[in-house]
Amino acid sequence: MTHPNFPHLFSPFDLAGVQLKNRLVMAPMSTGLAGENGTVQPSHVAFYRERALGGFALIVVEFTCVEAATGRSEKHQLALESRANLDGHKRLVDAIKGAGAKVFVQLQHGGRFADKRFVALPKGPSAVYSRKDATKLVSGEYTSDDINRLVDRFGTTARLAAEAGYDGIEVHGAHGYLVAQFISPLCNRRDDEWGGDAERRMAFPIAVSKAVRAEIGQRPLVFRLSVDEFLPGGITIDDTEVNAKMLVAAGTSAFHASTGQGPASFERVMEPMSAPEGWRIPYAGRLRRAVQVPVIAVGQIRDPAMAEDALASGEADLIAMGRPTLADAQWANKVRDGRIDDIRPCTSCNWCISGATESVSCAENPRTGNELEAPVDADIGEGKHAIVIGAGPGGMASALMLAELGFKTDLYEARDSLGGGLIASAAPPGKDKFYWYLDYLLRRLERSKVKVHLNAPLDAVALAAINPDLVFVAAGTRQRPMDLEGIDGANVLDSYEVLMGQQDHGLTAGQSVIVYGGGETGCETAEYFAKLGISVTLVSRSSEADLARAAEFVYRKMLIERLAKNDQITIVPNTHIVRIDEQGAELMSQETQLIRHVAVDRIVVAQGRDPDYALVEDVLAAGVPCYTIGDSRKTGRIGNAVHDAYKAIRSIAAERVVPRELAC
């Protein structure tokens, strides 16, 4: 039956002989869950099965190394080099198929970007020497014999994958790994049968395509390409239109149109939230028109209507989703069932690639990567009263989970609106996708049994009068006190309060500010004012190279580039303010010790914030069980707060665990 709203998205598709129930593909994502020697773990089975149950027609299992000794790209990477790992892959395949999806596996080799912790001297098509020391070899060059061996490795791994029951193979020819290194003129400087001109640079991917095809019979072979590297001298979509035809002739059945090269243009591989939704779709469209085989579009596709349009307009045959499946495993089912408002929206905050956790995770969805954990008993809170203080992301997530577990839940917020730090996070230019998450939490709260109290600060005395069974303190931070002449002046603002919309800066275009603080918040506040046409002097005690140093790395790269290009912003590094007066501030250079006065309309302080432990101490002193969440415990990101909430709930549940003797 045709879907009433998404007729293309939920129509079946024949992918080179594999019948897909809809057009939604889970993109390959390394989970960091693999065991010693790249084995499949029970956590893999649970993680992928949950996404298969979530309605995706095709799951592409994460990058799996074809020769770990030379190509391993991270500590916990999957491998399928020998029969030793076959049983695990078989179990994974069976679980995914049993949950109603088809399954491919992505074959990869890191080449020159193999992880140096495991590969002493990684190699690629051409040797690379240090930029600082031209005699120092950074990565070596493969010989022709090595290359022939690696081609074989792709073939033998594909054969084992077919034996494990995978429905098809995806070759990782994107993102700057080995196959992409051969294709790109930036990495392949050989002059032999494996490089020298565009055609010879395709010799390795073509050989890989043929080797895989020879081993997998009629199964589909998808080639994932970075269709454009977005680097001067790198692969462009014009090149890809030509290259892709050669791969089709060598047995490739379909393409997965990614972009970017890691690390040089990583912001095109996993773009931060400032990237426009669906910006890559036209690239998939160009590739599709150039080749007569199916093309999968991927990257920053979040809106189901946009996915539907991409299919309807012939830009793509299939739509792959990466991060949205981490944020919400049920994405596909929810769209199919008309529950789009229930989708936990991926904001592209990139917490999941920031190394915040050891294995796969999502800031908004602490279950991701923890699928093996048994659900908490739904009656755990029956007859009990929980109070949550603070309605930022950690507080809202806590209240929702507590209410779901049967606690009578009251959420107290001192301000006049819900959202806390999420509002401040969403305010700077390019970060408005955080509102998606805020709106989602508000919708969930509205439908929950949580009782919300606004303009309701709660102190120890009030708490004692209520006498709850437990308290979650998620009250956030307070501004770090500063010993600085003039800091209490009427012209001094707190960047956090400005971004929260709680302090009216009263400025209009043409006026000026000093933003004091070169951390992420300071840099973002500078952009915020610059966008209003206000001229900004960004004063940082650190060097320019250290601006926003704690920010997520992809976002940071783009933020720094934008700051440098912004005419409205003057960066003054290695400098501190020694005095504030009504006309502006005195700045002292740490290098020269020279002091100069800069006249501005406002000074906006962004010198960091600290947890406020006072309330926690009061609650503990009153003898009420207390859980400290997010910034109230340690200043961090939205993911830290939400994950704290989840851990607190799990620790409540842990008190009810009944020990059970093992049979062995």
Ligand X SMILES: Cc1cc2nc3c(=O)[nH]c(=O)nc-3n(C[C@H](O)[C@H](O)[C@H](O)COP(=O)(O)O)c2cc1C
**Stretch binding ligand SF4 (CB under 6 A), from 73-81, 241-249, 294-302, 319-327:** 319-327
Distance, in Å, from the CA atom of 630 to the CA atom of 640, rounded to the nearest integer, reads 6
CA torsion sign, 569 to 572 to 573 to 577?
Answer: negative
> Is the separation of the CB atoms in 258 and 295 below 8 Å?
no
Q: Which is nearer to ligand X, 43 or 575 (CB)?
A: 43
Q: How far is the CB of 261 from ligand SF4 (least distance, A)?
A: 20
Amino acid sitting at position 424: A
- Which residues are CB-neighbours of 664 under 8 A, at least 6 positions away? none
Question: Binding of ligand SF4 at residue 438 (CB under 6 A)?
Answer: no
Name the phi and psi angles at 604, rounded to 5: -115, 115
Provide, rounded to whole angstroms, the least separation between the CB of residue 361 and ligand X: 8
Q: Does 346 bind ligand SF4 (CB under 6 A)?
A: yes
Of 78 and 423, which has the nearer Cβ to ligand X? 78
In whole angstroms, how close is the CB of 269 to ligand X at the nearest point? 6
Q: Number of residues in contact with ligand SF4, rule: CB under 6 A?
A: 13
C-beta of residue 358 within 8 angstroms of C-beta of residue 79: no
Q: Which is nearer to ligand X, 349 or 403 (CB)?
A: 349
Could you say whether residue 607 binds ligand SF4 (CB under 6 A)?
no
Q: Where are the alpha helices (DSSP H) in 261-321?
A: 281-290, 304-312
User: Distance (Å, rounded) from C-alpha 569 to C-alpha 58?
Assistant: 47
Residue 424 burial by Cβ neighbours in a 10 Å radius (0-12, 13-18, 19+): buried
Which of residues 430 and 625 has its CB atom nearest to ligand X in the complex?
430
Instruction: Kindly give the residue spans of alpha helices, DSSP state H, lying in 430-574.
Output: 434-447, 460-466, 495-500, 520-531, 553-565
**Can you tell me the distance from the alpha carbon of 417 to that of 411, in angstroms, rounded to the nearest whole number?**
12
Helices and strands in the chain: count of H runs, count of E runs: 21, 29
Q: Can you spell out the DSSP letters for 186-222?
A: TT----BTTBSSHHHHTHHHHHHHHHHHHHHTTS-EE
Q: How far apart are CA 42 and CA 32, in angstroms?
A: 13
Binding of ligand SF4 at residue 348 (CB under 6 A)? yes
How many CA atoms are closer than 13 Å to the CA of 639, on its beta-carbon side? 23
Q: Which does residue 207 touch among ligand SF4, ligand X, none (CB within 5 to 8 A, set by kind)?
A: none
Burial class (CB in 10 A: 0-12, 13-18, 19+), 217: exposed
Window contacting ligand SF4 (CB under 6 A); options: 42-50, 330-338, 343-351, 458-466 = 343-351
Residue 329 contacts ligand SF4 per CB under 6 A: no
Region near ligand SF4 per CB under 6 A, out of 5-13, 356-364, 509-517, 554-562: 356-364
271 binds ligand SF4 (CB under 6 A): no
- The nearer residue to ligand X, 536 or 554, going by C-beta atoms, is 554
Assess whether 283 carries a catalytic annotation.
no
Tokens 């059970």 correspond to 660
Q: Is 275 in the site for ligand SF4 (CB under 6 A)?
A: no
**Please, which residue, 347 or 495, has the CB nearer to ligand SF4?**
347
300 binds, among ligand X, ligand SF4, none (CB under 5 to 8 A by kind): ligand X
| Nearest distance in Å: CB 648, ligand SF4 | 20
Which residue, among 476, 475, 500, 477, has the nearest Cα to 387 in the 3D structure? 475
Strand-pair partners of 597: 586
End-to-end Cα spacing for the chain:
51
Q: Rule CB under 6 A: is residue 331 a binding residue for ligand SF4?
A: no
Comparing CB distances to ligand X, the nearer of 303 and 469 is: 303
Residue 276 burial class via C-beta count within 10 angstroms: exposed 0-12, middle 13-18, buried 19 and up = exposed
How many Cα atoms sit within 13 Å of 150 on the Cβ side?
27
Q: Which of 317, 364, 552, 644 binds ligand SF4 (CB under 6 A)?
A: 364
Nearer to ligand X, 330 or 491 (CB): 330
Which does residue 27 touch among ligand SF4, ligand X, none (CB within 5 to 8 A, set by kind)? Answer: ligand X
* Residue whose beta carbon is closest to ligand X: 322
Provide the token pair at 391: 């309605």
Distance (Å, whole) CA 352 – CA 342: 21
Which of 426, 598, 604, 422 is CA-nearest to residue 517? 604
- Residue 349's binding partner among ligand X, ligand SF4, none (Cβ under 5 to 8 angstroms by kind) is ligand SF4
In the set 252, 265, 350, 512, which binds ligand SF4 (CB under 6 A)? 350
Nearest distance from residue 324's CB to ligand SF4, in Å? 7
| Phi, psi of 161, deg, nearest 5 | -65, -40
Least separation in angstroms between residue 322's CB and ligand X is: 3
Q: Residue 301, interface with ligand SF4 (CB under 6 A)?
A: no
Q: Which of 48, 142, 166, 177 is catalytic?
A: 177
Interacting residue with ligand SF4 among 164, 174, 349, 376 (CB under 6 A):
349
Q: Torsion over CA of 376, 359, 628 and 653, rounded to 10 degrees? A: 20
- CB–CB of 67/150 below 8 Å? yes
Query: Would you say 258 or 348 has its CB closer to ligand SF4?
Result: 348
* Choices 133-141, 358-366, 520-528, 640-648; region in contact with ligand SF4 by CB under 6 A: 358-366
Is 362 a binding residue for ligand SF4 by CB under 6 A? The answer is yes
Report if residue 433 touches ligand SF4, rule: CB under 6 A: no
CB of 364 to ligand SF4, least distance (A): 5
> Of 63, 266, 351, 435, which one interacts with ligand SF4 (CB under 6 A)?
351
Stretch that binds ligand SF4, among 172-180, 195-203, 346-354, 598-606 (CB under 6 A): 346-354
Closest listed residue to residue 304, CA positions, set 332, 280, 282, 283? 332
Residue 62 binding partner per list ligand SF4, ligand X, none, with a CB distance cut-off of 5 to 8 Å that depends on partner kind: ligand X
C-alpha closest to that of 78 among 119, 29, 112: 29
CA–CA dist 576, 578 (Å, integer): 6
What residues line the site for ligand X (CB under 6 A)? 27-30, 62-63, 106, 172, 174-175, 224, 258, 270, 298-300, 321-324, 352-353, 360
- Candidates 112, 159, 190, 323: give the one binding ligand SF4 (CB under 6 A): 323
Q: By C-beta, is 127 or 340 nearer to ligand SF4?
A: 340
What's the min distance (Å) between Cβ of 11 and ligand SF4? 27
Query: Which of ligand X, ligand SF4, none lies near 180, with the C-beta cut-off 5 to 8 A by kind?
Result: none
Smallest Cα–Cα separation from 571: which of 582, 583, 560, 586?
560
**CB 306 to ligand X: min, Å:** 12
Q: Residues interacting with ligand SF4, by CB under 6 A?
A: 323, 326-327, 346-352, 362-364
| Active site residues per annotation | 177
